[in-house]
Amino acid sequence: MKSIIITGGAGFIGSHVVRLFVNKYPEYRIINVDKLTYAGNLANLKDIEDKPNYRFVKADICDFDTMYALMQEEQVTGIIHLAAESHVDRSIKDPFTFARTNVMGTLSLLQAAKLYWEAQPEKYEGKRFYHISTDEVYGALEMTHPEGITPPFSTQASSEHHEAYGEDFFVETTKYNPHSPYSASKASSDHFVRAFHDTYGMPTIVTNCSNNYGPYQFPEKLIPLFINNIRHRKPLPVYGKGENVRDWLYVEDHARAIDLIFHQGTIAETYNIGGFNEWKNIDIIKVVINTVDRLLGRAEGEDMDLITYVTDRAGHDMRYAIDSRKLQAELGWEPSLQFEEGIEKTVRWYLDHQEWMDNITSGEYEKYYDDMYGKR
Ligand code: NAD
Ligand code: DAU
């Protein structure tokens, strides 16, 4: 039997991973370790909270003694580590918290796993420490490729577009070049994970994923924030010119990749995970506006005038785009959803779960950024 700690399971991606593992593997024991920061929400897991193979533990990953004791108590064989401070804007205001959780928290887990696993007769055999990271550690890409070709923005392409459009994507060997305190802290944690493999032989895996979207995302991130604002006819704060590009992946496709890699990925390897789906912010915002309007029975595009250009994010990375051909070639993973389908499902979910949204939006989180982007 496998006994797996999933950290950050009350957050956005973590809740999808916990749900997938609890439902798909009734023979595993799944221990969700989450501090329940502002971003953690147990309502994300209501449907599985009573399952016999699930346990929730409210704890801080930085608390080494608690992590070590829990690993001993649960005889943990696997760790899937998602807990983190995840929002770039917050990291600009409060970098210390990001270094504490993302760097020291990861180190605390690594050290606890090392001491616990090394004390077992079989040591690292059958064990796995899987660290979930981000494409942001690679820095930013140019808008046009070196050959002067513009990538196929705003259409979901297949992996073939990577063949056609050259090499200007993040690959697993791209040099780390983080710009924000968030990405610097994630890069640092990635280095620690790899160092534990190289130094102690810990069986680690790291994956770097692009922007996720889908249900249960905290509404400070672009897509859920904008869906909710459109619904309430509040301004949509677009940073800078709205020209920045992100590569969007439906969250359940990420969870599926995590499942596959946890079970079949090669130890010490890195896998990039992405949607082959690059969008300029302003274009994706227009799609979201049209979709919300249509689903609310308004005239499509009627809320375009909510678009409000505000001060740009400090150090705003221009473009992220993942080349996930390694994952496709080695493990056969591909995104399952076309973007049109994914965004429709997502908008519909938020509109159908207004109570979930209202329970979060006390208003405080919106005020958090007033000094950076102006009052919304
Ligand atoms: P999130 O902010 O929605 O959730 C983070 C969770 O971690 C929350 O439940 C929070 O309570 C918990 N947490 C924070 N600090 C903790 C601590 N000290 N101890 C225990 N729990 C703590 O984040 P997310 O968007 O779901 O991202 C999850 C992971 O995936 C992160 O590591 C992030 O860097 C990575 N990632 C996110 C994306 C994305 O688009 N959201 C893309 C690639 C990688
Ligand atoms: O690429 C993966 C990363 O994606 C993850 O590692 C991060 O945890 C996750 O938060 C996300 O980071 P981004 O900064 O790309 O996501 P965010 O939703 O904050 O912003 C998406 C884009 O939209 C970005 O270019 C900034 C812009 N934006 C965002 C907000 C919240 C706006 O223009 N206005 C906004 O109000």
Output the 3-class SS for the chain: CCEEEEECCCCHHHHHHHHHHHHHCCCCEEEEEECCCCCCCHHHHHHHCCCCCEEEEECCCCCHHHHHHHHHHHCCCEEEECCCCCCHHHHHHCHHHHHHHHHHHHHHHHHHHHHHHHCCCCCCCCCEEEEEEEHHHHCCCCCCCCCCCCCCCCCCCCCHHHHHCCCCCECCCCCCCCCCHHHHHHHHHHHHHHHHHHHHCCCEEEEEECEEECCCCCCCCHHHHHHHHHHCCCCEEEECCCCCEEEEEEHHHHHHHHHHHHHHCCCCCEEEECCCCEEEHHHHHHHHHHHHHHHCCCCCCCCHHHEEEECCCCCCCCECCECCHHHHHHHCCCCCCCHHHHHHHHHHHHHHCHHHHHHHCCCHHHHCCHHHHCCC
Question: Which residue of the set 138, 182, 213, 320 is catalytic?
Answer: 182
- Ligand 2 atom closest to Cα of residue 313: 26
Does 85 participate in catalysis according to the annotation?
no
> Ligand 1 in contact with 5 (CB < 6 A)?
no
Question: Which residue of the set 135, 190, 253, 366 is catalytic?
Answer: 135
Nearest bound ligand to CA 105? 1
> Ligand 1 in contact with 237 (CB < 6 A)?
no
Distance from residue 261's CA to the centre of ligand 2 (Å): 25
Atom 11 in ligand 2: which residue has the minimum CA distance? Answer: 211
Nearest bound ligand to CA 308? 2
Domains with residue ranges and CATH for the chain? 3-213+250-278+315-339 (3.40.50.720)
> Ligand 1 in contact with 209 (CB < 6 A)?
yes
Distance from residue 221's CA to the centre of ligand 2 (Å): 6
Question: Which residue of the set 60, 85, 89, 136 is catalytic?
Answer: 136
And the tokens for 231? 């619904």
Does 283 participate in catalysis according to the annotation?
no
Atom 25 in ligand 2: which residue has the minimum CA distance? Answer: 244
> Ligand 2 in contact with 221 (CB < 6 A)?
yes
> Ligand 1 in contact with 195 (CB < 6 A)?
no
For the chain, 376 residues long, give each residue's pLDDT as a single digit of tens: 799 999 999 999 999 999 999 999 999 999 999 999 999 999 999 999 999 999 999 999 999 999 999 999 999 999 999 999 999 999 999 999 999 999 999 999 999 999 999 999 999 999 999 999 999 999 999 876 655 556 656 666 555 555 555 558 899 999 999 999 999 999 999 999 999 999 999 999 999 999 999 999 999 999 999 999 999 999 999 999 999 999 999 999 999 999 999 999 999 999 999 988 889 999 999 999 999 999 999 999 999 999 999 999 999 999 999 999 999 999 999 999 888 899 999 999 999 999 999 999 876 666 777 788 876 6
> Ligand 1 in contact with 106 (CB < 6 A)?
no
> Ligand 1 in contact with 70 (CB < 6 A)?
no
> Ligand 1 in contact with 18 (CB < 6 A)?
no
Does 94 participate in catalysis according to the annotation?
no
Distance from residue 261's CA to the centre of ligand 1 (Å): 19
Predicted TM-score (pTM) of the model is: 0.96
